[in-house]
């Protein structure tokens, strides 16, 4: 029996090694990551917003988010999960409506964060998503910003992250995202304290090795806006050289025109 995209995505979290989930920001990047071998694609809210001319941090209009998502889904066949920041609203019902629209478009999951808000608000949003879910299920990845925002450190950060993730799991989350967490030892403590929740970390300088994170029980590693920053940083350097009369960098590592065009026939 062929698994649904949602079931395929869930199964990717139940392997011996963490799911490596590259983050895309438009149809071209999503398709290229699939061509590179990605078994699933995540969006990155920051890069999607930047690519569309908006600042990160809840500024992206819902209609533009959905239009960007539809473009990605049109050109890939692997499961796609969507970063919706804080849901772009403090109203749990509005967040649930957005989640339903995302599921209706064909995505398999959402990543939703507590940010600077009280964790009780994210609990309410997760519950609302579950209550409104309908026939199209979503993998809800609940992000806590304990480490990213420096809300605590050391053992206090571990304890705070655990407290929040337990609440999110009990509200119906499938995964728990802890960006900024780099220690495999701390990751193992969190994994052990929140059974039933697939723990996700973000690739960053100083992150423990893949083997160490696998042994700690981490189920998923994502990239955030790293690939966008790399691609546009490289392009900016090339453009500056080009404007100075050095055209050579603009031809280095270029993608083949025919190959790119054939992806979208």
Q: Are residues 171 and 201 in the same domain?
A: yes
Question: Do 53 and 23 fall into the same domain?
Answer: yes
| Residues 91 and 208 occupy one common structural domain | yes
Query: What pLDDT score was predicted for residue 134?
Result: 80
Query: In terms of domains, do 216 and 231 share one?
Result: no
Q: What pLDDT is recorded for position 1?
A: 67
Note whether 220 and 240 are same-domain residues.
no
- 235 contacts: CB under 8 Å, gap ≥ 6: none
Number of domains composing the chain: 2
Whether 253 and 173 map to the same domain: the answer is: no
**pLDDT profile of the chain (265 residues), mean per 10:** 92 96 98 98 98 96 97 98 97 97 97 95 98 89 97 97 98 98 98 98 98 98 98 97 97 94 91
pLDDT of residue 27: 98
- Tell the burial category of 186 from Cβ atoms under 10 Å away from its Cβ (0-12, 13-18, 19+): buried
The answer to whether residues 219 and 241 belong to one domain is: no
Q: Which domain holds residue 242?
A: 226-265
The reported pLDDT for the residue numbered 84 is 98
Q: Do 103 and 210 reside in the same domain of the chain?
A: yes
- Which helix (H) or strand (E) covers residue 105, if one does? helix 92-105
Place of tokens 């629209």: 101
pLDDT at position 265: 80
| pTM, 2 dp | 0.95
DSSP 245-259: T--GGGGTTPPPHHH
Residues 245 and 185 in one domain: no
Same domain, 194 and 264: no
Residue 198 shares a structural domain with residue 76: yes
The answer to whether 19 and 39 are in contact (CB under 8 A) is yes
CB distance 95 to 128 below 8 Å: yes
| pLDDT value of position 104 | 96
Residue in 230, 248, 225 with CA at minimum distance from that of residue 238: 248
- 188 and 76 in a single domain? The answer is yes
């Amino acid at each position: 029996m062929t698994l649904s995209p949602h079931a395929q995505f869930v199964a990717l979290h139940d392997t011996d090694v963490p799911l490596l989930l590259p983050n895309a920001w438009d149809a071209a990047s999503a398709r290229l990551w699939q061509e590179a071998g990605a078994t699933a694609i995540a969006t990155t809210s920051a890069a999607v917003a930047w690519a569309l001319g908006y600042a990160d941090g809840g500024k992206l209009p819902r209609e533009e988010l959905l239009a960007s998502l539809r473009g990605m889904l049109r050109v890939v066949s692997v499961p796609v999960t969507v970063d919706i920041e804080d849901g772009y609203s403090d109203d749990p019902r509005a967040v649930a409506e957005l989640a339903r629209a995302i599921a209706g478009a064909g995505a398999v999951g959402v990543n939703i964060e507590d940010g600077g808000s009280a964790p009780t608000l994210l609990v309410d949003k997760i519950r609302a998503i579950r209550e409104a879910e309908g026939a199209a299920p979503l993998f809800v990845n609940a992000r806590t910003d304990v480490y990213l925002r420096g809300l605590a450190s050391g053992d206090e950060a571990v304890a705070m992250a655990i407290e929040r993730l337990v609440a999110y799991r009990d509200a119906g989350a499938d995964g728990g995202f802890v960006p900024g967490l780099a220690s495999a030892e701390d990751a193992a403590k969190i994994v052990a304290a929140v059974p039933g929740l697939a723990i996700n970390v973000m690739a960053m300088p100083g992150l423990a090795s893949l083997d160490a994170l696998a042994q700690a029980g981490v189920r998923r590693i994502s990239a955030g806006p790293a690939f966008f920053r790399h691609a546009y940083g490289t392009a900016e350097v090339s453009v500056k050289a080009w404007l100075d009369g050095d055209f050579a960098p603009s031809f280095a590592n270029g993608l083949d025109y025919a190959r790119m065009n054939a992806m979208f026939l």
